[in-house]
Every structure is written in C-alpha cells, then in structure tokens.
C-alpha cells in the first residue's frame, strides 16, 4: 500500500504503535466481565472466549499486531462493510439507496418491527434486513458467481495476495443456515411487500456465506487502512464517504452513539467478537475478543479501542 497525496505529509502517527498495542492487549485481554460468547449460532459458541488480538495498519502499509492476530474468525456483520462497498461500486449509490436507507436504528440488529411499522425499506445496510437486501441485489445480478465476486473483492480490500484469498468457513455457513428463523422472517417479509430483488433462499444463501467469510485482525485492519487511505484504486471517494458515514452512525447498532462518544471513529462490529475501526488518513484498526455485551459488541474490544483512540489521539484533537 502506498500513501495517498493527502497523507504523505505525515499525519499518520506511527511512533510507538507496537508498544501501545502490546500494553493495551495486556490491559484489555481479560476485560470481559459481563460478556458472553454468541450462542444462537452454534458454531460461534465453540470459539475460545480467551482469544484476543489487536492489529493496526497505517496508510503507509505498515501492520502492527499483538495477541492472537493469526487466528481466523468469521467476519459476521463486519462483512457488511465489504458487501456495501461492493454494491456501491457495482450498482452505484442511487440504486443501492433506493433499496436501503441510511438512518440509524434504535432496535436490535435483527428486529423486524421497523419494517412492519414504518417502511418495507430497511433503515440502513448494517442491520440484518438491510444486509439481506444488499445481498439480494448482488445475488440477482450475479447469480452463482456472487460469492466468488464478493470474496475476491473483500480479499483485495484486505491486501491478500493472489492465490491466498479469504475463504468461507463451511461449518459456520451450515450453522448459520440451520438457525436462521429470524433472518428468514425478515427476508420473507421483504418479499411479501415486493421489496426483495431476488428470491429468499438465494438472498439468504449469499448473506450467510458473506457472514461466514474468515479473516484475522491483520486482514481487517488492512481493510480499515484501505478506507482510511481514500479507497486506494479499489474504491471511489464517494463509496468511501458513504461507508465511513454509515459506520459512524450505524456500525455498532444501538450502541453506535456510545461508541462515537468514547472512541469517536467509524467502526463496524460483528457477533464473532470482532470490531473493524477506521482512523481516516491515519490507519485501520481491528480487534477480536469473543465475549459480547447485551447489544452484541465485543466487551474487551470496545475497551481496547477506547484506550487506543485516547492514547494515540486518533480523533485528531
């Protein structure tokens, strides 16, 4: 990765990153009180709750990591960042945002209430109904080639070399598929109102496979750095602005406001225990710790990002 013109002036703070990561890893690894590993997807219940990793990739392409940073885990809802970027690049924002909104949601990420009460258009692409809608757009256009295209695109964002791309964990995919009653309800409701572009099963199959893509924190921090660096040659600035804006307002579901106060950076969480975070023009950051709070966000990950943002003054103030 080469730094863009806007960051060659030295805005990225690289001094002492490794020491900070190591210190925060030691401090936050066990800060999981009250957290529980996601169990509604059976395969996720098998993840070691003691795992912890923290990675940062600067806009200049340097990656620093601490903890279990080579451990792969399913991206779950973090994959919604790549899916949205892919859809925006493929279909354009006008078409995408006709099918899904851009507003935060105060309800749980898998809630059907807002669809029923206000509109058949999902409030944003990061709640489950919105991500299923994005998957349906992609599935309608690409059919059986959809997951391969999304995997290749996500691998590019993650800086993976050709021949070493990201892959789908089939055990997690099967586990997701077998316990998906709520997501099926969302998809069938959207189909009943004529909103879903593609068939329910085709849409959900792609959605579950995207959630089951495996990555580590080094991969995710590189995705963050790609966004922090203006998208490089992979994304338009219009796409980057849309993705970062939605990460800022909707990325941690009903805890997005609290995260904005404490951390102050665009981010996206997943029930795997991962959080992808972006410090624009500086770096991408990713943390992984499986125990979740009641809103579905990593307890130790939230604490680690709070500490890192403050220590490195990543808000720019």
Contact 235, 194 (CB under 8 A): no
Known catalytic residue: 263?
A: no
Residue in the structure block whose two tokens are 């993976």: 160
Can you say whether residue 295 is alpha, beta or left, with left for phi > 0 and alpha for psi between -120 and 50 degrees? alpha
Known catalytic residue: 168?
A: no
The active-site residue out of 253, 269, 298, 299 is: 253
Ordered DSSP codes for 284-307: EEEEE---B-TTS-BHHHHHHHHH
Q: Which helix (H) or strand (E) holds 283?
A: strand 283-288
The active-site residue out of 59, 81, 200, 271 is: 271
Measured CA to CA in angstroms, residue 167 lies from 72, 152, 173, 197 at distances of: 10, 9, 11, 26
Residue in the structure block whose two tokens are 């106060």: 261
Contact 217, 224 (CB under 8 A): no
The active-site residue out of 20, 80, 99, 268 is: 80
- d(CA 104, CA 124) in angstroms, rounded, equals 7
C-alpha torsion sign, points 22, 229, 249, 93: negative
Contact 222, 63 (CB under 8 A): yes
The active-site residue out of 53, 65, 74, 77 is: 77
The active-site residue out of 203, 207, 254, 309 is: 207
Ordered DSSP codes for 152-192: HHHHHHTTPPTT----B-HHHHHHHHHT-HHHHHHHHHHHH
Known catalytic residue: 207?
A: yes
Known catalytic residue: 221?
A: no
Q: Which residues pair with 54 in a beta bridge?
A: 66, 287
Known catalytic residue: 254?
A: no
Point out the residues that are catalytic. 77, 80, 207, 253, 271
């Amino acid at each position: 990765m080469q730094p863009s013109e806007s960051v060659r002036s030295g805005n990225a703070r690289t001094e002492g990153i490794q020491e900070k990561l190591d210190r925060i890893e030691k401090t936050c690894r066990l800060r999981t009180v009250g957290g529980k590993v996601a169990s509604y997807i059976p395969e996720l219940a098998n993840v070691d709750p003691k795992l912890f990793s923290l990675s940062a990739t600067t806009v200049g392409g340097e990656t620093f990591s601490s903890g279990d940073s080579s451990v792969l885990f399913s991206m779950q809802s973090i994959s919604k960042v790549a899916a949205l970027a892919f859809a925006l690049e493929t279909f354009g924002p006008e078409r995408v945002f006709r099918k899904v909104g851009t507003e935060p949601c105060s309800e749980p990420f898998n809630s059907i209430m807002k669809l029923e009460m206000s509109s058949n258009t999902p409030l944003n692409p990061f709640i489950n109904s919105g991500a299923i809608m994005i998957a349906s757009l992609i599935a309608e256009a690409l059919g059986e080639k959809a997951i391969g295209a999304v995997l290749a695109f996500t691998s590019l964002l993650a800086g993976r070399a050709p021949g070493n791309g990201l892959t789908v964990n089939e055990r997690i995919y099967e586990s997701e598929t077998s316990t998906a009653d709520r997501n099926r309800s969302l998809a069938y409701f959207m189909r009943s109102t004529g909103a879903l572009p593609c068939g329910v099963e085709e849409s959900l199959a792609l959605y579950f496979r995207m959630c089951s893509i495996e990555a580590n924190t080094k991969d995710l921090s590189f995705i963050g750095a790609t966004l922090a660096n203006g998208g490089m040659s992979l994304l338009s600035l219009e796409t980057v602005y849309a993705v970062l804006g939605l990460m800022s307002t909707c990325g941690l579901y009903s805890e997005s406001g609290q995260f904005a106060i404490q951390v102050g950076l665009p981010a996206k969480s997943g029930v795997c225990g991962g959080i992808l975070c972006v410090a624009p023009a500086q770096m991408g950051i990713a943390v992984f710790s499986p125990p979740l709070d009641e809103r579905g966000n990593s307890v130790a990950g939230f604490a680690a990002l709070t500490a890192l943002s403050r220590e490195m003054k990543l808000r720019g103030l």
